[in-house]
Amino acid sequence: MANELVELNVTGMHCNNCAISVHKLLEKKGLQNVLVNFASEEVKFSTNEQVTVPEVIAAIEGLGYHVIEDATNHHEKFYQKVDNKLIFCAIFTAPLLLHMVLPWHWLHHSTIQLAFCIPVFIVGCLHFGKSAINSLRGGVPNMDVLIMIGSTAAFVYSLVGTIQNLGENYLFYETCATIITLVLLGNLFEKRSVTQTTSAVKDLVKFQQVDARRVIDGEVEVIHATDVKSGDILLINTGDKIPVDGDIIDGDASVDESMLTGESLPVDKKKYDSVIGGTILQSGSIRIVATKVGSHSVLAQIIDLMKRAQAAKPPIQKLGDKVAGIFVPVVILISLLTFGITYYAVGTSMQTALMNAIAVLVISCPCAMGLATPTAVMVGLGRAAKGGVLIKGGDTIEAVANTKYVVFDKTGTLTTGKFKLQDINVLDETPIEKIRGVITAIEERSNHPIAKSLVEQLKPLAKEKVILKTVSEEKGLGMRAMDSDGNNYFLGASKDKIDTAFNLSLYKNQQPVARIAINDDIKPGAANLISELKKLGIKPVLLSGDKTDRCQTVAQALGIEKVHAEKLPDEKLSIIDVYKQKGKTIMIGDGINDAPALTKADVGVSMNDASQIAIQSARVILLNTDLNSLLFFMRVSKHTLITIKQNLFWAFAYNVVAIPLAACGFMSPMLGAFTMAFSDVVVIGNSLRLKVKNLR
């Protein structure tokens, strides 16, 4: 049970303050790897020996939130829905407001007003009260504390006036009811808006919720995608969503992979090609063998990455969190000072002093500060994902700001990686068929673009099959292997400085047996990318393990002035460190030898067809092959950061202006409740603009 990762679905968290309460609670219990996302209603943590999951669930529910089994099948009860609570409260609040304009004297009667107010006050206590009390227990008082103090003060003051028959100057039932009703309206808008910010993840989850046709002994049975097991044979026809990752064993097809790569053009697939769960079969009929199912599938891993990215806090959020954490006690103190100064020092009436104090409570909005960063990050990450860019952490967005250098690997990054075999120069008596067989057998075990291209071109020509006992890849050097006869081979970068046409050398038992000449083309869009980076004041750098002359050729064609060639992984690491000291550095690469440098850079960017190690090391993955998606990622990051700053400015400015106005009596509690409710909506609305904003 130790160190098991637990994921819970928790409802009832309406803003980042709620998430902070849950986060602090779990940390106090000594749990590790805590991630709390109020928008997706998810809580993750690693268990320890001292605390059981039922204990954690009980503690979370003790804070006033609800832990549910399955979020997809969860349906709120009628009386739990915010919109139903709002309608109920609005029905009783309307007469209390209308009594101020209608001539019906019975509406002015204190007991009638009390009767209309009590149902609304009870709903308010049930909706806000439990959360307020438990947030105080947890040491992170939330907005509900302010709402409850304000509405309760108005209700109790009015109740005392009714019991003692002190007259209509002591009746503020409409203030109590209107505060609760308007804040419920704000909660409804907030809930619907926040749901939109997480739509990117929810759209991806929908791709998983499909049926599959499993073939057993020639019979076809329909099962849910979650019931597919690795090794199952599945039949997929035109128009179907591919249920899981797999390899085609029969048929040809055209597959729409836009949900993964953002590219609209379908991809042709044939026998032995891989397909990804969630993509759509546009035409054709295929049978596949399931290879990756459940949490191991590409789609499941992307969803998990996005959820974790949304929960990762950028440094700019820490300011908002700190202020939100101390905000409620400060506002309560300002409210008490407002009452004391207005009543005792200025000498106004008890009613005026109380209304000013209540207005201070209900106009204040810590939620706007709590929502400012996470909502913008969620929308930004979703916009990037739909454009074929997977960002692993919300903090990555801020790391891109003020980038000074973008360091490129050459092979497979700036060049196509589709290498053309020019020539094989045999250096001893070994038959060419044997050479082809050895090269093919060795390179089949590598993910490097050169290896893939050599296998594709040599496999049909390799007549003599070579059986290898062991194969290992050495970062930045090449491949070592031993065949069934005990011969040792090394295939790697050529050490020949005289004839640079030959890129690779094959050694057998430490003796050179062949040299291989290959070349590749520059990627379409690479020149445009370098040009755009220069316009942004960013310096492009080429860092490669390839020969100097070939690196210089590519650099000159693209306009890159700084070139570091023939570098091993540890040397790449040192060079990245030098650039980091000069300014923010992005590294983009795709091979195993790039992995350390990708980790070392401020932001590591990997291509989708890169080695698994490179993808794991990078913080950003470009899911399509278009290099200009790097520019798209940088634009999304820039505009997300702008949106965060706009949101934080509004949240701070709103409170800085509104609280003094309320304290001085220029805003009534009802107007305060109305503006407070909509301050959240303004922040969320500004974040949602990112979905459609022109990023150029």
CATH of the domain at 237: 2.70.150.10
Q: How far is CA 46 from CA 8, 24, 34, 308, 394, in A?
A: 11, 15, 7, 14, 21
Residue 17: give its domain's CATH number.
3.30.70.100
Kindly state whether residue 346 falls inside one of the protein's structural domains.
yes
Instruction: Verify that 495 and 532 share a domain, yes or no.
Output: no
Q: d(Cα 326, Cα 342) in Å, to the nearest integer?
A: 24
**Enclosing domain of residue 474:** 420-519
Better pLDDT: 191 or 54: 54
Within a 10 A sphere around the Cβ of 237, how many other Cβ atoms?
Answer: 13
Instruction: Verify that 25 and 104 share a domain, yes or no.
Output: no
Kindly state whether residue 206 falls inside one of the protein's structural domains.
no
198 pLDDT higher than 70: no
What pLDDT was estimated at residue 257?
77
Catalytically annotated residue among 409, 546, 594, 680: 409
Instruction: Verify that 547 and 593 share a domain, yes or no.
Output: yes
The closest alpha carbon to 43, from 51, 25, 208, belongs to: 25
Kindly state whether residue 633 falls inside one of the protein's structural domains.
no
Q: d(Cα 35, Cα 406) in Å, to the nearest integer?
A: 31
Active-site residue, 409 included: yes
Kindly state whether residue 627 falls inside one of the protein's structural domains.
no
Instruction: Verify that 37 and 84 share a domain, yes or no.
Output: no
Beta-strand ranges (E) seen in 593-690 are: 603-607, 620-622
**Span 62-87, average pLDDT:** 75
Kindly state whether residue 679 falls inside one of the protein's structural domains.
yes
| Total count of domains within the chain | 5
What residues pair up with 44 in beta bridges, in sequence order?
Answer: 7, 35
1 pLDDT higher than 50: no
Half-sphere exposure in the Cβ direction for 157 (13 Å, CA): 23
**Domain stop point among 519, 539, 558:** 519
Q: d(Cα 386, Cα 203) in Å, to the nearest integer?
A: 10
Lowest-pLDDT range of 233-242, 289-298, 534-543:
289-298
Q: Left, alpha or beta for 117 (phi > 0: left; psi -120 to 50: alpha)?
A: alpha
What pLDDT was estimated at residue 579?
93
**Domain stop point among 519, 538, 572:** 519
**Domain stop point among 26, 54, 75:** 75
Instruction: Verify that 515 and 528 share a domain, yes or no.
Output: no
The closest alpha carbon to 16, from 659, 680, 689, 682, belongs to: 680
Are the C-beta atoms of 423 and 454 separated by less than 8 Å? no
Instruction: Verify that 593 and 538 share a domain, yes or no.
Output: yes
Instruction: Verify that 16 and 105 share a domain, yes or no.
Output: no
As given in the structure block, the two tokens for residue 247 are: 């390899």
Instruction: Verify that 533 and 600 share a domain, yes or no.
Output: yes
Instruction: Verify that 531 and 410 share a domain, yes or no.
Output: yes
Query: Would you state the torsion angle of the CA atoms of residues 381, 385, 390, 394, taken in this order, to the nearest 10 degrees?
Result: 0
If you average pLDDT over each of 64-78, 318-332, 398-412, which comes out highest?
398-412
**Span 494-502, average pLDDT:** 58
What pLDDT was estimated at residue 233?
92
Q: What would the pLDDT profile of 115-125 be if each residue is shown by its tens digit?
A: 999 999 999 99
Q: d(Cα 426, Cα 228) in Å, to the nearest integer?
A: 49
594 pLDDT higher than 80: no
Can you say whether the dihedral through the CA atoms of 409, 377, 19, 315 is positive or negative? Answer: positive
Instruction: Verify that 97 and 193 share a domain, yes or no.
Output: yes
The closest alpha carbon to 368, from 509, 189, 586, belongs to: 189
Neighbour-count burial of 67, counting CB atoms closer than 10 A to its CB (0-12 exposed, 13-18 middle, 19+ buried): middle
Instruction: Verify that 192 and 332 share a domain, yes or no.
Output: yes
Are the C-beta atoms of 613 and 410 separated by less than 8 Å? no
Kindly state whether residue 696 falls inside one of the protein's structural domains.
no
Q: d(Cα 657, Cα 360) in Å, to the nearest integer?
A: 11
Instruction: Verify that 407 and 528 share a domain, yes or no.
Output: yes
Residue 588: give its domain's CATH number.
3.40.50.1000
Better pLDDT: 447 or 662: 662
Kindly state whether residue 513 falls inside one of the protein's structural domains.
yes
Mean model confidence pLDDT for the chain: 81
Name the phi and psi angles at 480, rounded to 5. Answer: -115, 145
Note the residue count of the chain.
696
Within a 10 A sphere around the Cβ of 169, how many other Cβ atoms?
Answer: 10
What pLDDT was estimated at residue 646?
92
Q: What would the pLDDT profile of 171-190 be if each residue is shown by its tens digit?
A: 778 888 888 888 888 777 76
Kindly state whether residue 303 falls inside one of the protein's structural domains.
no
Residue 440: give its domain's CATH number.
3.40.1110.10
Q: How far is CA 541 from CA 100, 102, 413, 550, 601, in A?
A: 72, 75, 13, 15, 13
- What percent of the residues of the chain are helix, what percent strand, and what percent coil, each to the nearest 5? 50, 20, 30
